[in-house]
Structure 1
């Protein structure tokens, strides 16, 4: 959202306030204030004109402006009712030099997960991709994936969903049907041997979506606890991710606390073969430590499966 419009919105939120008072405070014309008010109305904000000034009486349910309103993190939000893939759009923006932009959509029509797997993204979800330019070597980028998993899991726990993280980045809910996927994360990057040019962190969260609209192996917030305020949920997720990317040393302790993998028997499919044993720890920037019959092994990437106890 344009900075002056944000300030107009902040003033309206504390209203009633007259147009001349806003114009004087922001050092803009009264006509400019009126244009910003009309633009906010078009974005879905309910603004009444009263004798004592403008009053903000309602906010949009979802969308870029709804998420940016009250967002305590330095992100601009580009919103789409429908898009092929937020990650695809985020890569375009990253290539054009963008930074700290969130591509957000109500629905995706061509989303992909890890290993190019199709990802169901019906209307009602939270589908977003964050464009970052971290001062990190490429080998440390996986910590951003773990940070996104922590931020997502904490956000859904705050709305009542008892979720955990399966290494490295799947957010799962355990119920009578076993463990089902609530959210997934796909991180992409471009860079050279010693530095990162950009990182795109894609997060797909089944929020206000019917259970029948996602695979049997997945679940949704609606199915678990009912519908939630998606704008508030998205703000909380983005704010927590912003905190963690600024303090990467806090990521692993938080990830361990939320892990549904540590202490479990696992099978991790890697290019060098399966690693089977008990997951005992996660190390910076995100390697899983597995205690096998041959001793400890560290896995930096692979498909992890939770196994039944022997």
Structure 2
């Protein structure tokens, strides 16, 4: 949102407040105040009443960029689309132009892909989000961003009553049934010793009918009913921002939410399957598996939870 418009909105949130008072506070003309108020109404979807004692903000949009940015305690600019091919594709475009701390958000995706270029269902009513970040990290440590995203998302879902947990490294599932409710895909560009940019894609099956997602998946609607998507997105972004600025906090939080630790697993890796009991996760996201031959550390792979031997 344009900076002056955001400041006008902040003043309205403290309302009722008169146009002249806003103009004086922000050092802009009364005509500019009126234009910003009209833009907030017509372009951004805020309900603003004009009363004798001034403007009063009576309602915020249900979803969208302005709704997420309003009152958020995190430095993300939100670029919203009703529908888009892929938020990750758009985020990569923005990253290539030098953008930073942009959250590309959509109600629906028409051409999203997951890991290994698998098709990813993204119907209207979901939260399809991609974050453009420029961390001061070597490429080998980027997985900590993926784990931070999983933690932030699972915690946000728990706040609305969803029994969310994490399957290594970053799938968010329902505890007990292990039905998938969130997918996360991280992409990056950089050199051997430094990352240029990281795009963290997060797809949440939010206010979506379960018939619109794969049979092995579920939705927030199915678990607890429809929720305030803007509010959930805000909490996710705020928690992710905290975690990326405090990497030491990521692994303890991830362990608390883990559905993998303590389970027998099979991890498909380029070097073959690793089978055993998942016993720990190490920085920046390495899974430690106790096998018949001792502990094996796995940095990447497809993890399957197995029944007890």
Superposed, 1:1-310 pairs within 5 Å as 1-42=1-42, 43-175=44-176, 178-310=177-309
Give a deviation string over 1:238-290, Cα, whole Å, max 9, x none.
Answer: 00000000000000000000000000000000000000000000000000000
Task: Provide the rounded CA distance (Å) in 2 between the counterparts of 1:143 and 1:76.
Answer: 22
Q: What displacement does 1:234 show?
A: 0.2
Match of 2:178, SS state, is: strand
Task: Provide the rounded CA distance (Å) in 1 between the counterparts of 2:36 and 2:283.
Answer: 46
Match of 2:56, SS state, is: strand
Give a deviation string over 1:22-46, Cα, whole Å, max 9, x none.
Answer: 0110011111111110111021100
CA contact (8 A) 2:175 2:259 kept: no
Task: Provide the rounded CA distance (Å) in 1 between the counterparts of 2:252 and 2:53.
Answer: 51
Gaps of 5+ in 1: none
Match of 1:179, SS state, is: coil
Deviation >6 Å, runs of 4+? none
Match of 2:240, SS state, is: helix
Match of 2:288, SS state, is: strand
Task: Provide the rounded CA distance (Å) in 1 between the counterparts of 2:140 and 2:265.
Answer: 24
Match of 2:179, SS state, is: strand
Task: Provide the rounded CA distance (Å) in 2 between the counterparts of 1:201 and 1:298.
Answer: 24
Q: What displacement does 1:2 show?
A: 1.1
Match of 1:7, SS state, is: helix
Task: Provide the rounded CA distance (Å) in 2 between the counterparts of 1:94 and 1:179.
Answer: 34
Task: Provide the rounded CA distance (Å) in 1 between the counterparts of 2:111 and 2:271.
Answer: 31
Using structure 1 for the length normalisation, give the TM-score: 0.99
Match of 1:54, SS state, is: strand
Give a deviation string over 1:73-122, Cα, whole Å, max 9, x none.
Answer: 00000000000000000000000000000000000000011111111000
Give a deviation string over 1:130-171, Cα, whole Å, max 9, x none.
Answer: 000000000000000000000000000000001100000000
Using structure 2 for the length normalisation, give the TM-score: 0.99
Task: Provide the rounded CA distance (Å) in 2 between the counterparts of 1:266 and 1:152.
Answer: 23
Task: Provide the rounded CA distance (Å) in 2 between the counterparts of 1:258 and 1:39.
Answer: 42
Task: Provide the rounded CA distance (Å) in 2 between the counterparts of 1:36 and 1:248.
Answer: 39
Task: Provide the rounded CA distance (Å) in 1 between the counterparts of 2:91 and 2:35.
Answer: 29
Q: What displacement does 1:13 show?
A: 0.8
Q: What displacement does 1:174 show?
A: 3.5
